[in-house]
Amino acid sequence: MLLLAGCYLGLIQGAESLGYNWQWNRVTRYLFQSSADGWQFGPLLQGLWLTLGITLVSLCLAMTIGLVSALMRLSTSPMARGISRVYLELIRNTPLLIQIFIIYFVFAPILDLGRFTSAVVALSLFEGAYAAEIIRAGILAIPSGQWEASASLGMSNGQSYRYIILPQALRQMIPPLTSQGISLVKDSALVSTIAIYDLTMQGQQIIAETFLTFEIWFVVALIYLVVTMILSILVKYLEYRLSDQVN
């Protein structure tokens, strides 16, 4: 808390040395707006809603991509392992911003993809690569005796994954996967570079119109902090429940 307070005071003094005129009273209207129909969300909260929508869709797709990629890495097929390895190395070793630009400016015109779809595809592929390694590690952590037990029951490889391996591995995978979901919320801010009016883009638009630079960025940062803190608390609760079940 002292560190945060020190940073805040430093920023305040730095802004005042630049002759910046603080106008916090003008910020509320960009969070909530009143009209004849009652209170409505302002641009920042509308942007937050879009951010959460992109995050949710991307997270679902990323988990699917991650599971498929992890199973391909563990496959006995050299082609499946090769395709998965190329995907993982290509995605994890290039910046997300570049990937967003490539998908939006190169592939989107060819495939007739909109901004929202392009953003979801880019985020899903990026987070899916990291999810794949988490899932693969969770599967490899299962003792080999579980595989032998499923084989002795006459189960196929697919049945072993479905009924024996994945249910046990899920307990180990959920905490890191949910943490990856928290990272996805922050990574989604980069979609503002392709003119998607998420929380970050709404903040940029308001600053361009009002010059409330420090106030708006502080509020945007606070909103991201609140969202990620809530998700972090949920992750801790989930870990607690899983540990109780194991014990």
Torsion-angle region of 113 (φ positive above 0: left; ψ -120 to 50: alpha; else: beta): beta
What residue ranges of the chain have pLDDT lower than 70?
1, 3-4, 7-8, 10-19, 36, 242-247
The boundaries of the domain holding residue 197 are: 40-246
Among 41, 43, 32, 33, which Cα is nearest to 198's?
43
Q: What does the pLDDT read at residue 144?
A: 82
Q: Evaluate whether residue 215 is within a structural domain.
A: yes
| pLDDT for 93 | 93
- Is residue 242 assigned to a domain? yes
At residue 64, the pLDDT reads: 94
Asked if the structure places residue 7 within a domain, the reply is no
List CB contacts of 4: < 8 A, sequence separation 6 or more.
none
pTM exceeding 0.75: yes
In a domain, 183, yes or no: yes
> How many angstroms separate the CA atoms of 115 and 117, rounded?
6
**Does residue 18 sit within a domain?**
no
Residue 51: inside a domain = yes
Domain count, the chain: 1
Rounded Cα–Cα distance for residues 48 and 51 (Å): 5
Q: Residue 28 falls within a domain, yes or no?
A: no
Domain-embedded: residue 22: no
pLDDT of 135 reads 92
The CATH code of the domain that includes 214 is 1.10.3720.10
Quick one: CA torsion of 48, 88, 172, 155, rounded to 10 degrees?
Answer: 120
